Every structure is written in structure tokens, then in C-alpha cells.
Copies of this chain bind each other. A is one copy, B any other.
Amino acid sequence: MIELDRRSLLTGAAAVAGTAALAPFSATPARSAAPPIGTQNAGWYRYKVGTHEITVATDGVTRFRFPDGFVANKTREEVNEGLAAAAFMQAAPDEYVTPYTPIVVNTGAKLVVMDTGTGEANFERSKGMTGQFQNNLKAAGIDRNQVDMVIISHFHGDHINGLLTADDKPAFPNAEILVPEAEWLYFMDDAEMAKQTSERMKTVFAGLRRVFDALGRKVTRYQPDKELAPGIISLATYGHTPGHNSFVIAAGTDKVFVQADVTHTPLFVRNPGWHAMYDQDPNMAEATRRKIYDMLASERMMVQGFHYPFPSRAYIEKTPTGYRETMVAWSPAI
């Protein structure tokens, strides 16, 4: 009864598809369909952690040709293979795709933004591919003026540039800005800046000074293992940067691990030993990654991943060669 096999699919239906231009439907359409619409849905998603209301709002996605040394301990060929074969993440060879996904937490007492994306100035520059965070917040019904607190995980541009508007004003004018003390001490140290030799690190130092100078360096420094807002706890996850922090959001019996950049995209979930160029201390970053992911897997704890595909929530399991994410199903109601 079943006629379909791979051969019939390829020689039958797919052959039909291949000659679609010759088929009567295409050659002489009875009428034109409604015009294509061409717009995407707004990139926000809402869920609850206990009584806390979390709004995920994407800042967009960058696609770029990854440079040599993108993964320090892997060849370009291995990276391509990993992206294409293992992670199904690749549209074209040598292409890397990075989503950016800040979140907003309403704790009942505080409205808290966690990391801020690449910044509104990027929206025009990228032709709308990134710099979307504020647009998506608005679409989600969130007023930037009502934000009480912004918690920064670390000082890379895609996490802090959204602290400023396109004209370098505070993007969250009524918010206290919380930054990791270890990150502040390291990156605001002029002697550390003077030591840098790589262009990338010089850009990182210059970029974060531009942002914090525009804010008059008015920040509150925080320590790991502290409750920064009700049910939002900081955790030292050093390596990616010297003061990188992650967070547990816990309310009632429910919780989620907000990892920031413990891994970058799921490519590095599946390959935890790969040293992305973003990891400032790759060995420490790997050790942190394995500790955290062992914990996420054994605790079956949900993770919110800044560089995971929107809405960026997953569960983790351990595999013989690393870890594997299962994206949490979209719920059409809260």
C-alpha cells in the first residue's frame, strides 16, 4: 500500500517539483494569490517562574563569516562540520549565526532587565537584523521608563551596548545599573587596558568605557552569591570574562538558570571542549562550562541561553561527547 520510498520521492514528487515551472499551475495561474506579506512576528515570548513573569525579547541575529581562529583548538573544517552536521546551524559554509536574547523579569517588586543586546544604534546599521530589543520590548507592552534595574552579566558589547539609546542616552533612564564587581575592577583598570595587544581586546576595553562613560560610570557593583532582586541570585561563572556572572531566578519551587555566556550558541553545548574566541580564559571557561552543564543535566534545570535561538530556553542532557539541548516547547498561553 505504501508506494513511497526514497527513489519515488526523488524521481516522483521531487521530479514533479523540479519541473514545477513547466506545470500548468505555474505557467497559467488561474489568478494571483493575495500578495506576500513579508513581515515577521515580533520577537517576544512570555513565561512564568513561580509568580515571576519573564519576558524574553530578542535583539536579533547576526550572520557573519567566522574568522580563522574562531575556535582556537579546532580547524575551520572542523567548525564547519560541527555547525552543519552536528548542530544544523549553518546556512552556508564558513557562516556563523548568533542570536542575542535579553530577558525582563517582573518580580512583583521590581521590573528587571537582564543584559541589553547590541544597542539601538545597531538597528539601522544592521538593516534591522539586530538592535531590535527596544522594539520587541515595546511590542511586549513593556515601557523602558518603568524598568527599575538592569543586571549586566559581563562587559562584552552585545550585553552592554543596549544600556544606551542610539544617541548615547541612558536606554533605561530610571533604572539602577548592576555590574559584577570583579568585571568592573578588571576592565576599568587602565593598567589592564594598556596591557592588551589584540585588536579584539582593545575594542572590548574601548567599547565598554564608551558605554559606562556615557552613563557617568554610575553603576552599582554586585558580588556573586547575592540576591540582587527578589529571587534573582548571582553566581560567579568566570572564564568567559574575568568577572562573568550567571543567575538563578527562583520563585516558589520553580527556577531557571540564566547562563549569559557560559556557552555561546548550542554548537558549544554539543562541543563543550571547543574554545570560542570569545572566551578570554578558555581553560577556565571550559571548566566552568562543564561544571554548570553537569549541574543543569543532573538537576534537569531549565536554562535561558543568551545566544540560544529565541525564545532561548532549553533543557540539557549529557551525551558521550558533551551535552545536548532540547528547546522548551512554545506555549501559546501563559
Query: Taking beta carbons and an 8 Å cutoff, which residues of A are in contact with B?
Result: 1-6, 8-9, 12-14, 16-18, 20, 23, 25-26, 29-34, 36-46, 53, 55, 58, 60-61, 87-89, 97, 99, 106-111, 128-129, 132, 139-143, 146, 148, 224-227, 229-231, 233-239, 248, 250-251, 255, 284, 287-288, 291-292, 294-295, 298, 300, 309-311, 315, 317, 326-334
Contact = CB atoms under 8 A, between A and B. Distances in A.
Contacts of A310: 329-330, 332
A87 B16 contact: no
A235 B17 CA distance: 12
B110 A33 contact: yes
25 contacts: A2-B238, A4-B224, A4-B288, A5-B291, A13-B225, A16-B227, A16-B233, A18-B250, A25-B110, A34-B111, A36-B53, A39-B141, A40-B332, A41-B42, A43-B330, A58-B332, A60-B333, A61-B329, A88-B315, A88-B326, A88-B328, A89-B329, A129-B333, A309-B329, A310-B330
Contact of A12 (B26, B89, B225): B225
Contact of A140 (B8, B37, B234): B37
A311 B40 CA distance: 12
Given A31-B148, A108-B33, A235-B9, A2 B284 contact: yes
Given A146-B34, A235-B4, A248-B14, A40 B333 contact: yes
A325 B75 CA distance: 27
A140 to B, nearest CB: 7
Nearest to A132: B332
B46 A40 contact: yes
Nearest to A225: B12
Contacts of A329: 61, 89, 97, 99, 309-310
A109 B25 contact: yes
- 7 tightest Cβ-Cβ pairs between the two chains A and B: A29-B109, A17-B250, A309-B329, A88-B315, A13-B233, A34-B146, A33-B111
Nearest to A58: B332
A33 B172 CA distance: 14
Given A17-B233, A235-B4, A333 B32 contact: no
Given A13-B248, A333-B129, A334-B38, A231 B6 contact: no
A109 B334 contact: no
Given A34-B111, A37-B53, 9 more contacts: A1-B284, A2-B236, A3-B225, A9-B235, A36-B106, A40-B333, A41-B139, A43-B332, A97-B329
A146 B334 CA distance: 31
Contacts of A143: 34
A32 to B, nearest CB: 7
A3 B238 CA distance: 9
A230 B40 contact: no
A16 B256 CA distance: 14
A106 B33 CA distance: 7
Contacts of A61: 329, 331-333
